[in-house]
Homo-oligomer: A and B are copies of this chain.
Amino acid sequence: MAVELFNNGKHICLAFYDLVDEEHDHAVQCNQFMIADSGHGALIDPGGNLTYNALLMAMQRYFPSKELVWLLASHPDPDIIASVNKWFVASPCKVLISKLWTRFVPHFTTGRDIQGRIDGIPDEGMEIPLGESRIKAIPAHFMHAEGNFQFYDPVSKILFSGDLGVSLVDHDVAGLPVKDFDAHIPLMEPFHRRYMVSNKILRFWAHMVRQMDIEMIVPQHGQRFVGKAMCNRFIDWIEKMPCGIDLMTQDNYRAP
């Protein structure tokens, strides 16, 4: 069932937490997001082939397929965008993804009907028009992909943070906001230590987002952080974490 993150009557943000049955599908739980503004829509990280049918059905309660304008992809992993060929058939949407990956996305497709439908986001980010609003693509390179973006919605003040802030939980827990930050740390820590690339980058990110007006941080797996106090707990925590290459030594690089 969809969770309504924001709704002022003409601008709506929805999150889908239970479209993957991680036990049955042997797949990692993941979240999908929809933003509708004035009858036009965008999907953020719509997922792979496991989530397509349910997401299409849910979306059509808010706008018809022909008004799906954007697929916004934080990076090119299969749980992010492997369903792209189906969305291209079902709607006139375009994909926006880091310009590092525009020529990789066609490998998800049959190669038909893709011309002019995959646009690159420059490294510095961009503003993306949606109805009467504008979504911002925020640089998040190396968290984790080399070309990586988060998406910030200035109307709802939600930061869709991709793989940053992820927790690995069941889909029935994923839909609930984080209540106790300290108790939540063990659900985040192993993932961030191995899949985030370096503390250097986390510090750049923390410095950047402290200057933004953020009410909610919503990652692509697991639970969201609601309210400025809880968002700041996350920012303060992640800024100090050594991860990725910080922890690698020559011992990790030996032929078996």
Interface residues of A (CB under 8 A from B): 20, 22, 24-28, 30, 47-50, 76-79, 82, 85, 100, 103-111, 114-115, 118, 123-127, 136-139, 141-142, 144, 146-147, 152, 194-195, 197-198, 200-201, 204-205, 207-209, 211-212, 244-245, 248-250, 252-256
Contact = CB atoms under 8 A, between A and B. Distances in A.
B26 A106 contact: yes
B49 A111 contact: yes
A78 B49 contact: no
Output the residue of A82, A138, A195, A244 with the most chain B CB within 10 A: A82
Given A50-B106, A114-B26, A141 B248 contact: yes
Contacts of A76: 77-78
Nearest to A142: B245
Nearest to A123: B252
A204 B251 CA distance: 9
Output the residue of A47, A78, A136 with the most chain B CB within 10 A: A78
Contact of A111 (B50, B115, B144, B208): B50
A201 B76 CA distance: 23
Interface SS majority for chain A: loop
A110 B28 CA distance: 14
A49 B198 contact: no
Contacts of A197: 142, 146, 197-198, 244-245
9 contacts: A50-B107, A50-B109, A76-B78, A78-B107, A79-B107, A136-B255, A146-B195, A200-B248, A209-B255
Contact of A211 (B22, B27, B255): B255
Contacts of A115: 26
A146 B100 contact: no
A70 to B, nearest CB: 16
